Structure 1
Amino acid sequence: MFDPLSPEMLRDPFPVYAAMRREAPVHWHEPLRAWLVLRHEDCTRVVTDSTVFSSDIAVLGEEPPTAVIGIQNVDPPHHAAVRHLLVRGLRGVDMRDWVKTCAEYAEKLLAGADPDRFDFIREFAEPLSLESMRLLFGVPDFGEPDRFHAAQRALVLSMDAGLDPTRGAAGVPAREYLSGLLDPWVAEPPDDGLLRHVDFDAAGPLRRLLVNSLRQVLVAGFSSSSSLLGQAVHLLVERDLLDQDEPMTLSTAAYNEIVRYTSVVQADSRACAEDVEIGGQRIERGQEVLAVLASANRDPEVFERPDELRLDRAPNPHLGFGRGAHSCLGTALATALHVPTLNALSRRYRVEPAAAAEIRPSATLRGLDRLPLRLLPR
């Protein structure tokens, strides 16, 4: 039943999650050698209690390559120290100007679109996400574009190494390459942007961890952001919400409902640091726990009619951006970028599908390879 890379689950994993949540909300999955946790309450506990559920895979008895380790893979106190430096760096960036400049670039992309066949992923979501990160980091570019995209894709696919071991090997050099892109700018920071405002000297012995964490910010800002933007438009087009007589006006609450409903980040892994009971199951120290956030986001114990898209849903305690100390550092950035972008698309065009979307063969981070659209000027 649970085969996240199968065509059926890539297309729509939520019926499988619902069945598993009803029948065995916490259970051992032998192929992954991990406990699957599917209820909202249990997933929240796993992602917020870093004392019991560690982000450090060394707890599993593994020694990860240095290139892999960043803020997502460490616990306090190192996590808190690096996150503090990143937050301080972000505060130095003029976010109003960043949003304004990103919006101007989005308008430029839309103005130059072929209205009869516009691939939203290749011609908008990915270019906008890349430009938004270039502006945020304050650098002129991220090297040769094809190589950058190849590294991002290899890294995203490597997130599914537990499901397909052949994907794992390419993830390490991809991470090394993307971190290496930042090294020259760390040595000589640009005139403005995040890299100018991060205090690398204050990191001391955590300097490499800080650089790798910036790479994780870059990956999230490109791959996660473009995936979420693509899934959002795909959903809105499917529901005919971008083909109305009047332009759509998306609120922050509606955006959060889209985040909940699409659940682009499907799961988050932790290592059990001590024996514990959760959902009536005994989990032993050193075992892996997979919090299936996409299942938690459709838990009927928390969300009324969870399989309905309700753009006015409130409250909406979804886990789409994580929770606790390891919650997504870019939540505010994604919201500030995506809400006006989606509204701008709707103001300029009525949007229809031009052909079937092509699903990216990735389970941990759901996304599309192509989303062909037809744009009808208003």
Structure 2
Amino acid sequence: MDPLSAEMLADPYPTYRRLREEEPISRHEKLDAWIVTRHSDCARVLREPETYASDFRKIGDPVTPELLSVQTLDAPEHTVLRRAILPALRDLDLKRWVADTRSAAAKLLAEVEGRDFDFVTEFAEPLAVESMCELFGLPFIDDVPRFRDAQRDLVLSMDAGLDASRVEPGIRAREYLSTLIEPWTTTHPDAGLLSGIDTGSVGEHRAELVNSLRAIFVAGYSSSSAMFGNALQPLLEHGLLAGDTPPALDGTAFNELVRFNGAVQATSRAVVQDTVLGDRRLRRGEVVVVFLAAANRDPDVFDAPEELRLDRDPNPHLGFGRGVHSCLGTHLALRLATDVVGDFVRQYRVHAVRPPVQRPTATMRGFDELMVRAQRR
């Protein structure tokens, strides 16, 4: 399995299916890790941080300070950071944020209406920038091209285990993105997420708190913009956006789109104590790569998993993770997606102009280009 091969970038799901059927827990020599593809095994790894840790320092791996965040730390540090962030997330004026983002989306669509445009660079990404600045209470970013380049370098660096040349650009990107947020953790903005963050509550973990806020900002931009494109493409491919009756994109439908073609394809954990997973004996110091996207098409859990069923319910997909490290902003992502993309398909007939261009990333699946035409219904 080569996740960065042209074949897998175009469509990784047949490879996931073969692995799940033939060897659901297998060794990957280049990654020097165990590959896990079955839903039950993936869910177990995510739910047992005492055995499968997010902090790779526990098995002796060096971790640069820029990488230490709520995503990569375990209890007790993870608990301290989570407690500092969750109250501010709960206190957000979600209704206002969604309304402002929908208004921004309408303006972007008015500029491209009736002509061919790139859904990724002319809609999804600029909207994600604006929505995350609004969410955090930050002023709009001055140097958008540099910001986008840094975000791209960071997302590419998620596959550093497959391409070592991506490591250093990813570290520089994280450093730059932290500088955008760090000043506002001292001089709080008047509104938004940062206005509700008590940096003093984390004591010696202030740097990790800044990294955590950066990670949320990055996820909000990269994951949401990728999710918009990943959701639109199968709807286009299934011919659901050109007819007179658009699909109803409620929370149930979007959970299915995340299951079917989610942005986050995989995540890694460190084995911190000897254990047995499936029929494999795992040793302390080994690494497990959980392929969420493979688990999300496991026929033992999902009926007709290769079919897109917008009314699928229940839908226990792992697209937002599971356990203590599940996505903090799941409710924000689903609300934004259902309203923004829902508005788009309700108001416009959408046609693909040419085949999309896949971004050369495996961990965070998305598009570099998705050319469409939108015409008012």
TM-score normalised by structure 2 residue count = 0.98
Structure 1 partner of 2:196: 197
**Does structure 1 retain, via aligned residues, the 8 Å contact 2:105–2:127?**
yes
Residue 20 of structure 1: how far off its partner (Å): 0.7
Residue 71 of structure 1: how far off its partner (Å): 0.7
- AA at the equivalent of 1:345: F
**Does structure 2 retain, via aligned residues, the 8 Å contact 1:60–1:288?**
no
Structure 2 partner of 1:147: 146
* Structure 2, unaligned runs of 5 or more: none
Structure 1 partner of 2:73: 74
- AA at the equivalent of 1:67: E
- Of stretches 9-18 and 162-171 in structure 1, the one that deviates more from structure 2 is 162-171
Structure 2 partner of 1:339: 338
* Structure 1, unaligned runs of 5 or more: none
Structure 2 partner of 1:308: 307
Residue 356 of structure 1: how far off its partner (Å): 1.6
Structure 1 residue 233 corresponds to structure 2 residue 257: no
3-state SS of paired residue (1:270): strand
C-alpha deviations, 1:223-271, integer Å up to 9, x for none? Answer: 0110011110111111111111123321211110000000221111000
- AA at the equivalent of 1:6: S
- Pairing 1:181-330 to 2, within 5 Å after superposition: 181-330=180-329
- AA at the equivalent of 1:101: D
Separation in 2, partners of 1:250, 1:181: 34
In angstroms, what is the RMSD of aligned CA positions? 0.9
Residue 114 of structure 1: how far off its partner (Å): 4.3
C-alpha deviations, 1:74-93, integer Å up to 9, x for none? Answer: 01111112112111111232
Number of residues of Structure 1 aligned to a counterpart in Structure 2? 377
- Of stretches 109-118 and 119-128 in structure 1, the one that deviates more from structure 2 is 109-118
Structure 2 partner of 1:84: 83
Structure 1 residue 47 corresponds to structure 2 residue 46: yes
Separation in 1, partners of 2:62, 2:141: 29
**Does structure 1 retain, via aligned residues, the 8 Å contact 2:230–2:262?**
no
- AA at the equivalent of 2:244: D
- AA at the equivalent of 2:11: D
3-state SS of paired residue (2:112): coil
Residue 340 of structure 1: how far off its partner (Å): 1.2
Structure 2 partner of 1:37: 36
Structure 2 partner of 1:57: 56
**Does structure 2 retain, via aligned residues, the 8 Å contact 1:275–1:284?**
yes
**Does structure 2 retain, via aligned residues, the 8 Å contact 1:116–1:354?**
no
Dislocated runs of 4+, deviation >3 Å: none
- AA at the equivalent of 2:246: P
TM-score normalised by structure 1 residue count = 0.98
Structure 2 partner of 1:374: 373
Residue 59 of structure 1: how far off its partner (Å): 2.2
**Does structure 1 retain, via aligned residues, the 8 Å contact 2:113–2:375?**
no
Residue 292 of structure 1: how far off its partner (Å): 0.7
Structure 1 partner of 2:98: 99
Residue 116 of structure 1: how far off its partner (Å): 2.2
**Does structure 1 retain, via aligned residues, the 8 Å contact 2:267–2:290?**
yes
Structure 2 partner of 1:21: 20
Structure 2 partner of 1:349: 348
- Pairing 1:99-178 to 2, within 5 Å after superposition: 99-178=98-177
- AA at the equivalent of 1:153: R
Separation in 1, partners of 2:353, 2:267: 34
Residue 141 of structure 1: how far off its partner (Å): 2.1
Separation in 2, partners of 1:338, 1:26: 33
**Does structure 1 retain, via aligned residues, the 8 Å contact 2:271–2:288?**
yes
Separation in 2, partners of 1:18, 1:130: 35
C-alpha deviations, 1:200-229, integer Å up to 9, x for none? Answer: 111111111111000000110000110011
**Does structure 2 retain, via aligned residues, the 8 Å contact 1:297–1:320?**
yes
